[in-house]
Structure 1
Amino acid sequence: MGIFERYLTVWVGLGMLAGVGLGWMAPGVFQTVAALEYAHVNLVVAVFIWVMIYPMMIQIEWSAIKDVGKRPQGLALTLTVNWLIKPFTMAGLGVLFFHHLFAPWVDPQSANEYIAGMILLGVAPCTAMVFVWSQLVRGDANYTLVQVSINDVIMIFAFAPIAALLLGVTNLAVPWETLFLSTLLYVVLPLLAGLATRRALLRRSPQALEAFVRGIKPWSVAGLIATVVLLFGLQAETILAQPGVIGLIAVPLVLQTYGIFFLAWWGARWLRLPHPVAGPACLIGTSNFFELAVAVAISLFGLHSGAALATVVGVLVEVPLMLSLVAFVNARRPAQAAPTC
């Protein structure tokens, strides 16, 4: 493990501080970057995420994807957590904290909007960052791709009904451009680029592929840190202006993240999943598709609403929390290739 991966938590922490500092000192630069978006997908963030994902995509073998069907338990665990548990626990925690525990400090309208933002996060399982977490825990790249792809298909049909049910609205409009563009940028294009690179390198030799993957790995970590700096820079004014509100919203999000993960981790142990499948299966259900959640929050409640703020807080807390869970998974990685977790 290289120095970047070994001290990744330190680099991410420094990236968070650097992002807030740069966003405070040069807000105009980050405003310009924020304007470079299409269908609520920031194109600069997309480039950084693409850099993170590409190294993992090179490791995917089409011939091995068919073998995923021989081990359906990991996929079943992911789908159960993502669609039958996670949205409802997120809604329950939102109501518990903002209608009861935090009620003395939050007005009812803001409370409802914060809950709505949390629900939108809970109904949007991650599409992009999952590949990064899977790579960091040495997950099965082929299995992870299948899990993400099936989640994306289900999201097309399930996102609107579940979100509408929990939000109590009947005219929920899904931003299809955001969903389509994110899938294209974060799954389809890097996958095609990775497969083309893999094929070209294998024509030379397996050693050429191995050397290329080893050499490009640091770029994945660099892309993660650059994404953290940019995200925190884009939200620096909000972080500095409303630290108390952000802290309140972060509390149930932290509980949701750890609660969902450890529920999935218990399920993985019960199913006796091998580590390369169990690690990503637990992390997929924990991470969120923040572009979609932010886009829907803005369209339903407005750019400066509490719902939009809650989805942004979800973005800010996700990376450090997920890194702590990556560390947990790696600490329990068996010495051999694929014993049970």
Structure 2
Amino acid sequence: MDSEKKVDEGKAISPIPAQERVDPKNLFKRLSILDRLLTPAILVAMVVGVLIGEYVPGVQDAFDTAQFNGVSIPIAIGLIIMMWPVLTKVQYETLPQVFRTSGIWPHLGISLLFNWVVGPLVMVGLAWATLPDLPTYRTGVIMVGMARCIAMVLIWCQLAQGDGTYCAILVVLNSVLQMALYSPYTLLFVNVVGGRGVSDTHLEYGRVAVSVLIYLGIPLGAGIATRYAVWSLTSKTFLDTRFLPAFGPFALLGLLYTILVMFAYQGHHIVHNIRPVFRVFVPMILYFLIMWSAAFALVYWLNTRTKRKMGTNDKSKFGYEMAVVQAFTAGSNNFELAIAVAIATYGVGSDEALAATIGPLVEVPVLVGLTWVALYLQGGLKWTEERVDV
């Protein structure tokens, strides 16, 4: 590796330079071509997939020819590719220094509270409130609620000018916890709290655990290996400025590819169940709005409370950039993992898998809108501007 600016033992990492405030009206111009086209591209992929599934005979049998852990190979490849580039961007090398600072612990506590206590309960409540008569679709929605953020949250935080280092830390934390907790959480909230009867197909811990290990463990390991292999063979500058920008779009392409294949497999099913498909939109939209708003409001309240106690010239651990990080990590989900587990457990043609697949279609436009909201609130609210060192 090339020589980089080292951090002295026991000292905090220097904060990322504060970005200039950007007029929210210019947010669309700051997006890359892929980001601008992502939402319409998802819609096109869904429509094309449905048409293929409805009018191309034998497409389901073709996808099922080769399988990996109960999932067709074409879909499994797409699911892994979606998360590999995102996990390559995480700055794992900063973690030892970050965890030696006191400023991180309050935010870890807030993130754990929202992601592993509030979020699952809110999603289960919304799923039951809006889909009481659709148990299979309700299960798919609950499975999305159990899968915590690791993917697009990095993009939303960047666009909304959040703290990239803290965002990466929370992504890594939730990735590790997800490998341990997703299986028991899903079993608890689907089979016990969710009320799936013993006569229904229900989740088995072993199958869920293997799916989590494959579809989270493999891309996490690949991301770490890729990051440090490229860094070792070239330089940190090349990794950040050349490799990652070129490698990153593969995550979005993998997402579009997976949606196309899945909707091709589900085409006939979707056409004949269009009403429940649209009903799935309701709990997911409400979930994103409630979780994002609650986390953002909590950090702002802590910011104003800290400002009164410490004075406006003191550093605050709860500034705007941290509000963005907490809001987007709480208000977004790892729908890739939920899709993978739903497919492996219930089958690619199931209602559960179809409900999980609705996740990216809902999340992308809602969180883009919340990015605009965040930028408006950056200038519209009074924040303690000083940033705490990470």
Give the TM-score of the pair, scaled to structure 1. 0.76
Equivalent residues of 1:81, 1:285 under 8 A apart: no
Q: Which amino acid aligns with 2:369?
A: F
Q: Which amino acid aligns with 2:326?
A: A
Equivalent residues of 1:45, 1:230 under 8 A apart: yes
Q: Which amino acid aligns with 2:127?
A: G
Match of 1:131 among 151, 172, 175: 151
User: Aligned to 2:193, what secondary structure does the other structure show?
Assistant: helix
Q: Which amino acid aligns with 2:355?
A: V
Give the structure 1 partner of residue 298 of structure 2.
267
1:193 Cα deviation from its structure 2 partner: 2.4
TM-superposition CA deviations, 1:30-84 (whole Å, max 9, x none): 4422454322444323323443333333333332022443423443333222322
Q: Distance in 1 between matches of 2:212 and 2:109?
A: 23
> Are 2:357 and 1:315 equivalent residues in the alignment?
yes
User: Aligned to 1:131, what secondary structure does the other structure show?
Assistant: coil
1:208 Cα deviation from its structure 2 partner: 6.0
Q: Distance in 2 between matches of 1:112 and 1:218?
A: 36
Match of 1:45 among 75, 78, 82: 75
Give the structure 2 partner of residue 103 of structure 1.
none
1:126 Cα deviation from its structure 2 partner: 4.0
Query: How big is the alpha-carbon RMSD for the aligned residues of Structure 1 and Structure 2?
Result: 3.5
Q: Residues 35, 185 of structure 1: CA spacing in aligned structure 2 closer, same or farther, 3 A cutoff?
A: farther
Structure whose CA Rg is larger: 2
> Are 2:177 and 1:155 equivalent residues in the alignment?
no
Q: Which amino acid aligns with 1:55?
A: P
Equivalent residues of 1:19, 1:236 under 8 A apart: yes
Match of 1:282 among 311, 330, 334: 330
Q: Residues 62, 186 of structure 1: CA spacing in aligned structure 2 closer, same or farther, 3 A cutoff?
A: closer
> Are 2:367 and 1:326 equivalent residues in the alignment?
yes
1:243 Cα deviation from its structure 2 partner: 0.8
Give the structure 1 partner of residue 285 of structure 2.
254
User: Aligned to 1:152, what secondary structure does the other structure show?
Assistant: helix
- List gaps (5 residues or longer) in structure 1: 100-105
Q: Which one has a larger percent helix, Structure 1 or Structure 2? A: 1
Equivalent residues of 1:261, 1:286 under 8 A apart: no
Equivalent residues of 2:49, 2:262 under 8 A apart: yes
User: Aligned to 2:340, what secondary structure does the other structure show?
Assistant: helix
After superposition, residues 217-228 of structure 1 pair within 5 angstroms as 217-228=248-259
Q: Which amino acid aligns with 1:221?
A: L
> Are 2:321 and 1:291 equivalent residues in the alignment?
no
Give the TM-score of the pair, scaled to structure 2. 0.68
Q: Distance in 1 between matches of 2:43 and 2:131?
A: 28
